[in-house]
Amino acid sequence: MVPIVLMFRYSFNFHDPVHIMREGFTFENYVKFFSDSYYRGVFFDTIKVAATCTLLALLFGFPVAYFLAKTQSRHKSLLIILLVFPLMVGNVVRAAGWMVVLGNAGAVNALLVWLGVIAQPIKLLYTPLAVVIGTTAVVLPYMILTLQSVLEGIDFAVEEAAQNLGANMFTTFWRVVLPIAAPGVAAGTMLVFILCMNAYATPVLLGGSGITMMAPSLYGQIAKASNWTFGSSMALILVIATMLIALSANWLIHRRYVRTMAS
């Protein structure tokens, strides 16, 4: 909490190009942020990318977590190890790998050209798409592991009961499995969204000048522009926005869970 408290105090100081900042109390840093269309765009781009990556992680992660929770295979431990293995590699290394895959001479463009889908390489790297792909890949294991821990506590006999009562597979999943798994969905969504909102290495390496997100932007203000006051205000806005959105999503999911269990 100490760095957050310091940033909170610094954000109300005056910027001084010579001495970095002067003690005081002003809202000019926050006014500058919300009145400047560039920084508003960075803020909303960050939210859009984080929400997209969280949704994709949930869509791709739930089936994998469901399979791991239900499987009785003796290779289950190996599958979990393979899932955890990417977490042992730093985000910079993984982003560098995606740069190789998504570059103009990368694997994706080479495959598309070979298949005749495109005549010449298309720009995939240094785009919002590259940031979404790279960030989703980084946070996907967290989502899967969080969901798996909750799904393993479900008695899957409820699926058979629902199907015996005439529900098809989709209805069983939507009306039975998903509501029961809501606590895991809420926990995974919160964790992944927070990680996406505060991503730094992946947006810098894969986004380049194609998209700017809050974490790289505020780092630039503090480390490059030496504007600690404005950088601190950006950091505080990022922290507060992340927590408010994550807690709101968590509340909505738990609200549906309580209603479902009550009925």
Residue 209, both tokens: 């000048």
Predicted local confidence at residue 260, as pLDDT: 64
- Assign 211 a pLDDT band (cuts: 50, 70, 90): confident
- Assign 197 a pLDDT band (cuts: 50, 70, 90): very high
Q: Reply yes or no on whether the pLDDT at 236 is more than 70.
A: yes
Segment 165-185 mean pLDDT? 82
Predicted local confidence at residue 30, as pLDDT: 93
CA atoms within 13 A on the CB side of 189: 21
Segment 87-94 mean pLDDT? 86
Q: What is the DSSP string of the chain?
A: -HHHHHHHHHTTSEEETTTEEE-----HHHHHHHH-HHHHHHHHHHHHHHHHHHHHHHHHHHHHHHHHHH---TTHHHHHHHHHGGGGS-HHHHHHHHHHHHSTTSHHHHHHHHHTS-SS----TTSHHHHHHHHHHHHHHHHHHHHHHHHTTS-THHHHHHHHTT--HHHHIIIIIHHHTHHHHHHHHHHHHHHHHT--HHIIIIITTS---HHHHHHIIIIIS--HHHHHHHHHHHHHHHHHHHHHHHHHHHHHHHHHHH-
Predicted local confidence at residue 261, as pLDDT: 64
Predicted local confidence at residue 254, as pLDDT: 72
On average, the pLDDT of the chain sits at 88
Whether 218 contacts 75, CB under 8 Å: no
Segment 94-98 mean pLDDT? 90
- Assign 3 a pLDDT band (cuts: 50, 70, 90): confident
pTM exceeds cut of 0.95? no
Segment 213-235 mean pLDDT? 91
Task: Look up the CATH number of the domain holding residue 254.
Answer: 1.10.3720.10
Segment 55-80 mean pLDDT? 89
Q: Which domain holds residue 72?
A: 2-262
Rounded distance between C-alpha atoms, residue 154 and residue 180, angstroms: 8
Q: Over pLDDT 70: what percentage of the chain? A: 97
Segment 225-237 mean pLDDT? 92
Closest residue by Cα to residue 172 from 181, 184, 161: 161
Closest residue by Cα to residue 196 from 1, 72, 56: 56
Predicted local confidence at residue 33, as pLDDT: 93
Predicted local confidence at residue 132, as pLDDT: 95
Residue 159, both tokens: 């699926």
- Assign 172 a pLDDT band (cuts: 50, 70, 90): confident
118-129, pLDDT tens digit by residue? 888 899 899 999
- Assign 17 a pLDDT band (cuts: 50, 70, 90): confident
**How many domains, the chain?**
1
